[in-house]
Chains A and B, each alone.
Chain A
Amino acid sequence: MNISNEEYGELTKKRSHNSKLYKTVPMAFLIGGLICTIGEALLNIYTMAGLSKDASAMLTSMTLVFLSILFTGLEWYDRIAQHAGAGTLVPITGFANAVASPALDFKSEGYVLGLGAKMFVIAGPVIVYGISASVVYGIIYYIVGLFMK
């Protein structure tokens, strides 16, 4: 080849277009915002029904997670996500989709080695590092608390 990889990399950068931010950012804002608004509405409904604040918050998350998994199973979630981008990825519904989609996909390899083993293939790192970070945070919180007394 009569071109260096560096030079080719430059050409590639020039020819590879990025996402159209003027389109993707407003869509993410709108649909992400819509999901959060639905969450807020659910929270109000549960509170109005006489549930405690904690129970309402928990039920709101559960309802959103349930709806996300239902939409994933109906093959609607990824279709909405194609337009919504981070709008469907960032809220709790995105996490539910990340667990439900491999579970559905790898069911064909059986309930143990397929569904069971592959269910957390996307969400696994988030759980591992999320829990690790919370442990580190907890230790720091405890130590700082000793001196603050």
Chain B
Amino acid sequence: MCFRKPSILSYAAVVGKAENDGPFGGEFDEVVEDNKAGADTWEQAEALFQRRAVGHVLRKSGLKPDRIDVVIAGDLLNQCVGSSYGLKDYFMPYLGIYGACSTFAEGLLLSAALVNAGYMDTAIASTSSHFSTAERQFRFPLNYGGVRTPTSQWTATAAGAALIGSSGKPPFIRAATIGEIEDMGICDLNNTGAAMAGAAYDTLMRHMKHRGTHPQDYDVIITGDLGQVGSDLLYDLFQRDGVDMKSHHKDCGLMLYDRTMQDVHAGGSGCGCSAAMMCGHFLKRVESGELKRILYCATGALMSPTMVQQGGSIPGIAHCVEISSEAGG
């Protein structure tokens, strides 16, 4: 899909303390020091993170909620409660989506398509994740003393949101590619990087083929949360085609935390991981022109503990959004 009109009017990231202690601390709009954010439960806390992120986006754009045509949001929790409970008090038209950790790119591309087609003037893409809610739902209780394997990733406690419209100012969303579900046969809940790398490779390949571009045409190619294992596998897959991806690539999962000091194993993950890195770090640099053209490929492991317990593997998905400081399709 190529777009002419859509641009990102405002964006914001809200992160927890550990995320702000990482290498990009200080770049986020708000840091919630208490991971429970004063709420009674972790799920309510995650909803609060998302509410705050959208609140910052509205404040920065100067628009009231009634001027927003749609908010497209999702998260990792069952029934996407982080989004629905977080956004219910804004009374904005709402579409819930699920793409695991690829949700932010999915929201961005849907918002851009709706704005580009003229159906909407303003659309917000929003997402969140929380370490504690994800652990409870997908793995073990928080205080359980089981040890995580080195390939496992740390779900980011973070939320990110972006308002898409057509202001004529950068950052512009110029193109997007919707990912296909790729099942690489990975069955290990603690190796989601490996489950997603195939999908990232496929979507990036298709996007660049469609656009007639190569990795070197982009200032940076950003993947969502492949972590160390997934990033290495992505390089391997491109290497087989004789393409050097490593020197053009950055992974939000490897950026958000300081892996030498913070015990996050193979890196960060969760919808909020790449959303926070995009809204806190990258979009600013595209807006200022420091980065001219970037490719954001958010990756999701469509994993269900039930399916894995039944012997199933973990399908992966990746959606790609091309963002530029210059307008044009």
Q: Using CB atoms and an 8 Å cutoff, list the residues of chain A in contact with chain B.
A: 1-3, 5-6, 8-9, 11-12, 15-19, 24, 72-73, 75, 77-78, 80-82, 84-86, 88-89, 94, 97-98, 100-102, 104-106, 108, 121-122
Q: Which residues of B contact A16 (CB under 8 A)?
A: 150-151, 191, 194, 229
B194 near A15 with CB under 8 A, answer yes
B232 near A15 with CB under 8 A, answer yes
A/B pair count, beta carbons within 8 Å:
99
With both chains docked as a complex, state the minimum distance between the C-beta of B253 and any C-beta of chain A, in angstroms.
14
Q: Which residues of B contact A82 (CB under 8 A)?
A: 147, 263
| Chain A CB within 10 A, most for which of B145, B147, B150, B236 | B145
CA distance A65 to B144 in the complex (A): 14
Q: Using CB atoms and an 8 Å cutoff, list the residues of chain B in contact with chain A.
A: 40-42, 136, 140-147, 149-151, 182-186, 191, 194, 198, 201-202, 229, 232-233, 236-237, 240, 263
B198 near A105 with CB under 8 A, answer no
A104 near B141 with CB under 8 A, answer yes
With both chains docked as a complex, state the minimum distance between the C-beta of A107 and any C-beta of chain B, in angstroms.
10
With both chains docked as a complex, state the minimum distance between the C-beta of A123 and any C-beta of chain B, in angstroms.
10
Q: Which residues of A contact B140 (CB under 8 A)?
A: 101, 122
B233 near A15 with CB under 8 A, answer yes
CA distance A98 to B144 in the complex (A): 6
Task: Name 5 interchain pairs, CB-CB below 8 A, sorted by A.
Answer: A11-B237, A15-B194, A16-B194, A89-B146, A101-B144
Q: Which residues of B contact A86 (CB under 8 A)?
A: 147
CA distance A84 to B146 in the complex (A): 10
B145 near A11 with CB under 8 A, answer no
CA distance A19 to B147 in the complex (A): 10
Q: Which residues of B contact A121 (CB under 8 A)?
A: 141
| Chain B CB within 10 A, most for which of A2, A16, A85, A86 | A16
A3 near B240 with CB under 8 A, answer yes
Which applies to chain A's interface (DSSP): helix, strand, loop or mixed?
helix
Known contacts A8-B198, A12-B186, A108-B40; decide if A19 and B149 are in contact (CB<8 Å): yes
B141 near A102 with CB under 8 A, answer yes
With both chains docked as a complex, state the minimum distance between the C-beta of B314 and any C-beta of chain A, in angstroms.
12
With both chains docked as a complex, state the minimum distance between the C-beta of A9 and any C-beta of chain B, in angstroms.
6
Q: Which residues of B contact A89 (CB under 8 A)?
A: 145-147
Set B136, B143, B151, B185: member contacting A9, Cβ < 8 A: B185
State the 10 A-B residue pairs at the shortest beta-carbon distance, nearest first: A81-B145, A5-B185, A105-B141, A101-B141, A101-B144, A101-B143, A12-B194, A15-B232, A108-B41, A102-B141
With both chains docked as a complex, state the minimum distance between the C-beta of A22 and any C-beta of chain B, in angstroms.
14
Set B136, B149, B237: member contacting A105, Cβ < 8 A: B136
Set A3, A84, A105, A108: member contacting B143, Cβ < 8 A: A105
Q: Which residues of A contact B145 (CB under 8 A)?
A: 72, 77-78, 80-81, 84, 88-89, 94, 97-98, 101
Set A3, A18, A81, A88: member contacting B198, Cβ < 8 A: A3
Q: Which residues of B contact A105 (CB under 8 A)?
A: 136, 141-143
Q: Which residues of A contact B232 (CB under 8 A)?
A: 15
Known contacts A17-B151, A105-B136; decide if A12 and B191 are in contact (CB<8 Å): yes
- A100-B143, A104-B142 known; 11 new pairs, CB 8 Å cut-off, are A1-B184, A1-B202, A5-B185, A6-B185, A11-B236, A12-B229, A15-B229, A105-B142, A108-B41, A108-B42, A122-B140
With both chains docked as a complex, state the minimum distance between the C-beta of B118 and any C-beta of chain A, in angstroms.
36
- Measured CB to CB, the nearest residue on chain B to A7 is B240
Known contacts A1-B198, A17-B151; decide if A102 and B144 are in contact (CB<8 Å): yes
